């Protein structure tokens, strides 16, 4: 359920300690994300993993959508996707609706890779959350939901996985 976003006023500036708290927490999250990629970093790069996550969470995509999601030009997105296709993680086919359009889908190995990395992230996050009181976990979940909403992320697997490198649940 989307939370109501508080109206922002011109003087509503975050305090330095608030920014610092988020920075420290982001280090922990980036550490979790990096550790979850151990064992696959020789197979895919972070941008390549981002592509796999986008296709996993959003379904079949065209190259323009991948480029927009990565915030790169289409030729860079094309090279990234070519490498994933060569590794057997992504498949490229003409669209059934418009043969001029190329559709990218995950292969079974690509889907498994995303699921394995996500499982490792989830396990690491659960381990840390167990160290917190239930009320603290509830407050954290609410605060992170508000943060994600302010960052224009949606409450789905795509936002959770791409939050760290817009990707974990």
pTM of the model: 0.76
Is there a domain that residue 16 lies in? no
Confidence check: pLDDT of 158 > 60: no
Structural domain contains residue 21 = no
When pLDDT is averaged across residues 6-25 and rounded to a whole number, the result is 81
For residue 117, count CB atoms less than 10 angstroms from its CB and return exposed for 0-12, middle for 13-18, buried for 19 or more.
Answer: buried
8 within domain boundaries: no
Residue 7: the pLDDT is 59
Which residues, including other chains, have CB under 8 Å from residue 5's CB and lie 6 or more apart? 146, 149, 150
Residue (of 104, 9, 18) closest to 66 by Cα position = 104
Q: How far apart are CA 99 and CA 97, in angstroms?
A: 7
57: domain CATH number?
1.10.10.10
User: Would you say residue 126 lies in a domain?
Assistant: yes
In a domain, 167, yes or no: no
Q: How many domains does the chain have?
A: 1
Rounded to whole angstroms, the Cα distance separating 74 from 108 reads 25
- Domain of residue 80: give its range: 26-162
pLDDT in the model for residue 10? 56
Joined together, the tokens standing for residue 73 give 């030009």
Report how far Cα 128 is from the mean position of its chain's Cα atoms: 20
Task: Classify residue 106: in a domain, yes or no.
Answer: yes
> How many Cβ atoms are within 10 Å of 123's Cβ, its own excluded?
11
For residues 129 and 135, give the distance between their C-alpha atoms in angstroms, rounded to a whole number.
11
**pLDDT tens-digit series, residues 106-150:** 999 999 999 999 999 999 999 999 999 999 999 999 999 998 888
Helix (H, G, I), strand (E, B) or coil at 82: helix
Q: Does residue 146 sit within a domain?
A: yes
Query: For 44-84, how does the pLDDT look when each residue is reduced to its tens digit (9 = 90+)?
Result: 998 999 999 999 999 999 999 999 989 999 999 999 999 99
Residue 100 domain flag = yes
The number of beta carbons lying within 10 Å of the beta carbon of residue 109 is 12
């Amino acid at each position: 359920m989307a939370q109501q976003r508080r109206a922002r006023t011109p003087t509503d500036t975050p305090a330095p300690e608030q920014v610092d708290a988020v920075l420290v927490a982001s280090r922990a999250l980036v550490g979790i994300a990096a550790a979850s990629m151990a064992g696959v970093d020789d197979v895919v790069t972070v941008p390549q993993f981002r592509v796999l996550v986008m296709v996993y969470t959003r379904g079949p995509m065209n190259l323009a959508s991948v480029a927009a999601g990565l915030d790169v030009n289409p030729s860079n997105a094309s090279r990234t996707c070519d490498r994933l296709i060569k590794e057997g993680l992504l498949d490229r086919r003409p669209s059934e609706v418009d043969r001029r359009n190329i559709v990218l889908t995950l292969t079974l190995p690509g889907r498994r890779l995303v699921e394995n990395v996500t499982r490792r992230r989830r396990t690491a996050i659960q381990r840390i959350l167990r160290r917190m009181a239930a009320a603290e976990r509830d407050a954290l979940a609410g605060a992170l939901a508000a943060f994600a909403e302010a960052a224009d992320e949606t409450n789905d697997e795509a936002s959770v996985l791409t939050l760290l490198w817009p990707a974990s649940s």
